[in-house]
Chains A and B, each alone.
Chain A
Amino acid sequence: MEYKLSFKEYHKALMKNKLMGLKCKECGTVTCPPQMSCSSCTGFDLDVTELSGKGKITTYTTVYVAAEGRESEAPYIIVLVELEEGPWIMGNLYDLDPSRASLDLIGRPVQMGTRIFPGDKYSDGPAARPAFRFAD
């Protein structure tokens, strides 16, 4: 069975600031990032759908020790965001001095933009990543 929304297609849309996901025809659940089956009912009957990129922060951390090749990015903030349509996705927050991140971030509304991870010798090419800014 062919993927309804492959990583490549998802990535291509994300490069244009468009967040794509999958809506289940059986149970209505929205799955994002995409995968083969509905994250809720495991059905395969899924429609590609564009998401708003709006959501709220559910948790965060400021990373000071980065992986090899990414040292110059640190410190940086990682957030998990609950999207309006339901799913959570992982991204970065660039709207705040990383040393000032605190629990007050949880619940803050955000809007998605994108930045590119150019990839390293272990990754199969670049990957766009959600980069959030405050929406309140």
Chain B
Amino acid sequence: MRKVAIVGTGHTDFMSDAPKTEVEMFCEAGTEAMQEASVVPKDIQALYCGNVFGDFAEGQGMIQSYIANELGCHHVPATRFEGACASATLAIRDAFMWVASGFYDVVLVGGTEKATAMGTPLATRTFAMGSDAKYEFPAGITFPAYFALLANLYAYKYEVAMERLREQMSMISVQSHFYGTKNPHAQFKHKEITMDQVSKGFVVASPLRLLDCCPFSDGAAVLVLASEEKAKQLTDKPVYITGIGQASSPKMSAQAPFLPRIRARELSVKQAYDMAGIGPEDIDLCELHDCFSIASIIAAENMGFAENGKGGELWEKGETKIDGKIPINISGGLKAKGHPIGATGASQTCEVVRQLRGDMAAEGRQVEGAKTGLVDTLGGDGIISNLILQTGV
């Protein structure tokens, strides 16, 4: 296998009610990434796109083909990835393999989504399609309900008092909004929140309240991937993808032997750690899938940053802050940056790349000396993909 680098990044503003179409958002982020990488459309050999609800949001299926051609990448093979919220990370993992194998030298990969066009009731319905339609949706499962079930199970199984877990969850949302105000692309770039606001919001699915939940969002993020040889011609700051992982879960009830652990994440991240030859102690920053506050705690444990039942202590002790032991979601995370689901994994990856290149000083949120970053994306109730990114390797 050849080494593969990320040589260009593009990221639109994340927001509600975007004035652009899904194709337009992808193409704006795509041209930004191509300019950064000094490539033009004819250099792009294939395109990979995460997009989940274009069919429902805009009545647009097979968006990838239109994106490729509007962007000027005429007739290149274009493939859409659907893995709910993990779609773009699956796309990046596959794009990596096509370049690593030697089949392509330069590819474009990203995601786009316009979730707010659906409105909350339809979006709640379509997001629930990331659960088992025949055996679990009939009981009224929603995506917040999935994590609410995990939160109550977590409190019971690990004997963490609900009052304390409630406080930890609030801290996570407060921290995410704090860093979100430093991210010019964040949906909530103007909105800091308090512990009190989180704990008094209306209940979506007990014990999760409004500010425990990420918003519905619109936006796109795109990357240019290149082989090592090509990358050296294009940039003096290549960021290499040194580890990849992906794993699947069964329906929620069938995950019983492991819950509230998400076993697929433990397996996926191990693949990525083993491939890169590193462990959780080597990670300088992590963008993890904080679709709900409790999801952050479970993810941090699954990835080895804390023992099971102790993930919340990372936030209590400030270890997840920019100068802490394991800085987490210094972008604002899904909670404050926003969660345009088909784009989320590309956004997380874009964020880590820019941190590893040292680009974030101007925004006042550079993780000093970061060399190794971890991307963690969860789709529905259990498609997981992880990426390890490194500089100076």
Q: Are A and B associated in one complex? A: yes
Residues in A lying within 8 Å of B, measured CB to CB: 7, 33, 35, 39, 58-71, 73, 76, 78, 80, 82, 87-92, 101, 103, 106, 117, 120, 122-123, 127-130
The 7 nearest A-B residue pairs measured at CB:
A61-B148, A68-B121, A117-B138, A59-B153, A129-B138, A88-B256, A67-B125
| B interface, over-half SS | helix
| Cβ contact within 8 Å between A67 and B140 | yes
Asked whether, in the complex, the Cβ of B205 is within 8 Å of the Cβ of A65, the reply is: yes
Q: Is B253 an interface residue (CB 8 A)?
A: yes
User: What residues on B are CB-neighbors of A62 within 8 Å?
Assistant: 203, 205-206
CB distance B149 to A64 under 8 Å?
no
Kindly report which residue of chain B lies nearest to residue A58, judged by CB atoms: B153
CB distance from B378 to the nearest CB of A (A): 18
**Complex A-B: 30 CB contacts under 8 Å:** A7-B135, A33-B135, A59-B149, A59-B259, A60-B149, A60-B152, A61-B149, A61-B151, A61-B152, A61-B207, A63-B204, A64-B205, A65-B142, A66-B124, A68-B124, A69-B121, A78-B145, A89-B253, A90-B135, A90-B136, A90-B253, A91-B139, A92-B139, A92-B140, A103-B155, A103-B162, A122-B125, A127-B134, A129-B139, A130-B139
Q: Does B62 contact A (CB under 8 A)?
A: no
Interface size class of B (residues with CB under 8 A): 35 or more
Nearest-Cβ distance from residue A66 to partner chain B, whole angstroms: 6
B262 to chain A, nearest CB (A): 14
**Nearest residue in A to B213 (C-beta to C-beta)?**
A65
Residues of B within 8 A of A66 (CB): 124, 140, 142
Say whether B158 faces chain A, with CB atoms less than 8 Å apart: no
A132 to chain B, nearest CB (A): 10
Interface centre among B145, B150, B151, B202 (most CB of A within 10 A): B145
Q: How far is the CA of A120 from the CA of B250 in the complex (A)?
A: 24
A61 and B140 form a contact (CB under 8 A): no
Closest A residue by C-beta to B127: A67
Please name 16 further chain A to chain B contacts, defined as beta carbons within 8 Å, in addition to the given A64-B204, A67-B124, sorted by A numbering.
Answer: A7-B135, A60-B149, A61-B152, A61-B206, A65-B142, A66-B142, A67-B142, A68-B124, A69-B125, A78-B149, A80-B252, A90-B139, A90-B141, A103-B162, A117-B137, A117-B140
The listed residue (A63, A68, A101, A103) touching B140 by CB distance below 8 A is: A63
Q: Does any Cβ of A come within 8 Å of B128's Cβ?
A: yes
A58: chain B residues at CB < 8 Å are 153, 256
B115-144 interface (Cβ within 8 A of A): 120-122, 124-125, 128-129, 133-142, 144
> Which residue among B128, B133, B206 has the maximum number of chain A CB atoms within 10 Å of its CB?
B206
CB distance from A31 to the nearest CB of B (A): 8
Q: Contacts of A70 on B, CB cut-off 8 Å? A: 140
CB distance from B137 to the nearest CB of A (A): 7
Write out the residue numbers on chain B whose beta carbons fall within 8 Å of the beta carbon of A69: 121, 125
- The answer to whether B150 touches A59 (Cβ under 8 A) is yes
* CB neighbours of B138 from chain A (8 A): 117, 127-129
What is the minimal beta-carbon distance from B167 to any residue of chain A, in angstroms?
Answer: 16
Q: CB distance B252 to A65 under 8 Å?
A: no
Residues of B within 8 Å of A59, CB to CB, are: 149-150, 152-153, 156, 259
CA A100 to CA B313, docked complex, whole Å: 29
How far, in Å, is A22 (CB) from chain B's closest CB?
12
